[in-house]
A = this chain, B = another copy of it.
Amino acid sequence: MPSFKINVLGCGSALPTSHHLPSAQIVEVRGKLILLDCGEGVQLQLRNRHLNLMRISHIFITHAHGDHCFGLPGLLSTFSLLGRKTPLHIFAPATLQPFFDCIFRDFCYGIQYEVTFTPLDSEQRQSIFECQSFRVTSLPLRHRVPCCGYLIEEQPSLPHIIPEMIAAYDIPHWAISNIKAGADWTSADGSVIAHEQLTRPADPPCRYAYCTDTLPNPELPAWIEGVDMLYHEATYADADMSKAVLVGHSTARQAAAIARDANAGRLLIGHFSARYSDESILLREAQEIFPATDLAFEGQEVALRV
């Protein structure tokens, strides 16, 4: 079964600090790279992490604040300079369209790859993309500007063949894909062996939710019920709750409550305010509600399945 990995490229908030970069993550699903948000410096981060930026097929931007999209112009230009030919798909709230149009009109003349920009209605939870490997649902968030979270789900995979059974029944290689797809096996003497006997159940598909920037959204847990991991913004500690409400952000404790209510496998918190030089306060407050919480950090790689 192929891996499903999250690479954190940046988990700071709007004000850059010496220890955090603006928002960006790479999700690796069955060999494809998905970019979530694109803060300034993403292409350098990709290079430093030895992630091949040419393998990025889809970009999902949460909202039109600079710390989530100012790396886009540089990345799109670099794709062009590197001679990219494969199509690129960008999804974002419709409010990002003018910025996108400006980049393309003024800086991307002569590009040789096709780019589709899909403007999203950030008020609607909707299935926005599906391919053989994964599907993506947009999640309405509650920020100062239109903002979408994203639920990324692997497509169900086929069951595993049990090699010992295949050998025992002397089943030829050509029959295996049929059996994995659900066909029973009829042997030379006419006896039928049910495919369930020849296979083990498929691994459950990995599911990952990326939710930033937002006030706590009480609808969110139902939408992401049982995800393997939730990344949720936790810009502030409890003591700064009034500030959080004012600027449309969550506290670490609120992020943890969302993870608990969603029965998430684990929680990764990020989008830390620059006011915390030590984020352990955020971790402690979140873990009081949801113990399986970790702090995000630049360079972090989390494998939901190795």
Is residue A16 within 8 Å, beta carbon to beta carbon, of the partner chain? yes
Of the stretches A40-48, A162-170, A173-181, A197-205, the one at the interface is A40-48
Of the stretches A77-85, A182-190, A248-256, A263-271, the one at the interface is A77-85
A17 to B48, CA, bound (A): 9
**Among candidates B71, B82, B98, residue contacting A40 with C-beta atoms closer than 8 Å:** B71
CB <8 Å contact, B21 and A44? yes
CB <8 Å contact, B74 and A40? yes
Is residue A15 within 8 Å, beta carbon to beta carbon, of the partner chain? yes
Is residue A106 within 8 Å, beta carbon to beta carbon, of the partner chain? yes
CB <8 Å contact, B105 and A98? yes
CB <8 Å contact, B64 and A47? no
A32 to B80, CA, bound (A): 37
Min CB–CB distance A97 → chain B (angstroms) = 10
CB <8 Å contact, B74 and A66? yes
User: Number of residues in A with C-beta < 8 Å to the partner?
Assistant: 32
Min CB–CB distance A15 → chain B (angstroms) = 5
Contacts of A1-33 to chain B: CB distance below 8 A: 14-18, 21-22
A102 in contact with B107 given A44-B16, A66-B73, A81-B15 (CB within 8 Å):
no
- CB-CB nearest in chain B for A274: B81
Q: Which residues does chain B contribute within 8 Å of A236, judged by CB atoms? A: none
List, sorted by A's number, 18 A–B pairs whose CB atoms are closer than 8 Å. Answer: A14-B77, A15-B78, A17-B47, A18-B47, A22-B74, A40-B43, A40-B44, A65-B107, A67-B74, A67-B77, A70-B73, A70-B77, A95-B106, A98-B102, A98-B106, A99-B102, A99-B107, A102-B102
Taking Cβ atoms with an 8 Å cutoff, the residues of A that contact B are: 14-18, 21-22, 40-41, 43-44, 47-48, 64-67, 70-71, 73-74, 77-78, 81-82, 95, 98-99, 102, 105-107
